[in-house]
Amino acid sequence: MTTSDQLIHLCKGELSVVVSTRGNVPAIVYWGSYLGASQLSDAMFLRPVLGGGIDFDAPLAIIPQHHDGWLGIPGLEGFRTDASAMFAHLQISTTEKSNTSATFNLSDKHAGLEAILQLQIDAGDVLTVSATLRNTGKTSYNLNALRVALPITASANEILTFGGRWAMEFSEHRTPWSDSTISITNLRGRTSHEKWPLIFAGTSGFSEQHGEVWGCHVGWSGNFEITADGVTEHHKHLLVGERLVAGEIILQPGESYTAPVIYAVHSSRGLSNASQQFHRYVRSQEQNREISRPVILNTWEAVYFNHDFEKLTALADVAASVGVERFVLDDGWFTGRRNDSAGLGDWSVDATVWPQGLTPLIEHVRSRDMEFGIWFEPEMVSPNSDLFRKHPDWALQDASYQQITGRNQLVLDMSREDVREYLFASISNLLDTHDIAYIKWDHNRDLVSAGAHAQTLGTYELLDRLKRKHPLVQFESCASGGGRIDFGILPYVSRFWTSDSNDPLDRTLIARGAKRLMPPEMLGNHIGSRINHITKRSHSLAFRASTAIFGWLGVELNLLTATPDELTRLTEVIARYKILRPLLHYGNSFTEDHSDTNIVVHGVNSQDGLQTIVSITRLNSGNSNHLDPIRVHGLEPLSQYEIKPLHFGTPAFAPHRQLPQWMQDARFVLSGLQLQQIGFICPPLLPASSFIVMIEKVVS
Q: Which helix (H) or strand (E) holds 303?
A: helix 300-303
Between CA 157 and CA 200 the distance in angstroms is: 11
Are the beta carbons of 642 and 667 closer than 8 angstroms?
A: yes
Between CA 688 and CA 69 the distance in angstroms is: 55
Between CA 232 and CA 56 the distance in angstroms is: 15
Bridge partners (DSSP) of residue 102 are: 97, 119
Going along 189-317, which residue ranges are E strands? 198-203, 213-219, 224-229, 237-242, 249-251, 256-258, 261-267, 296-298
Exposed/middle/buried for 471, CB within 10 Å: 0-12, 13-18, 19+? exposed
The one-letter amino acid code at 400 reads: S
Between CA 491 and CA 468 the distance in angstroms is: 12
Between CA 198 and CA 268 the distance in angstroms is: 18
404: number of Cβ within 10 Å? 12
**Catalytic site residue from 442, 486, 503, 506:** 442
Between CA 556 and CA 525 the distance in angstroms is: 9
Handedness of CA 366, 368, 369, 373 (dihedral sign): negative
Active site residue 393: no
CA dihedral 16, 278, 675, 573 (to 10 degrees): 170
Handedness of CA 694, 698, 699, 700 (dihedral sign): positive
Tell which phi-psi region holds residue 290, choosing left (phi > 0), alpha (psi between -120 and 50) or beta.
Answer: left
DSSP string spanning 431-480?
HHHS---EEEE---S---SS-SHHHHHHHHHHHHHHHHH-TT-EEEE-BT
In angstroms, the Cα distances linking 502 to 517, 521, 526, 581, 628 are 20, 17, 6, 20, 29
Between CA 182 and CA 232 the distance in angstroms is: 13
Q: Return the half-sphere exposure (C-beta side, CA atoms, 13 A cut-off) of residue 72.
A: 26
Q: Return the half-sphere exposure (C-beta side, CA atoms, 13 A cut-off) of residue 691.
A: 23
Nearest alpha carbon to residue 553 among 645, 695, 648, 618: 648
Are the beta carbons of 183 and 227 closer than 8 angstroms?
A: yes
**Residues near 425 by beta carbon (within 8 Å), at least 6 away in sequence:** none
51: number of Cβ within 10 Å? 6
Bridge partners (DSSP) of residue 184 are: 226
In angstroms, the Cα distances linking 14 to 261, 366, 604, 681 are 22, 48, 22, 34
Are the beta carbons of 237 and 174 closer than 8 angstroms?
A: no
434 CA to centre of own chain = 31
Does residue 235 sit in helix, strand or coil?
Answer: coil
Between CA 90 and CA 135 the distance in angstroms is: 12
The one-letter amino acid code at 300 reads: W
Between CA 653 and CA 685 the distance in angstroms is: 5
Between CA 429 and CA 407 the distance in angstroms is: 27
**Catalytic site residue from 346, 500, 503, 506:** 500
Active site residue 317: no
Residue numbers annotated as active site: 442, 500
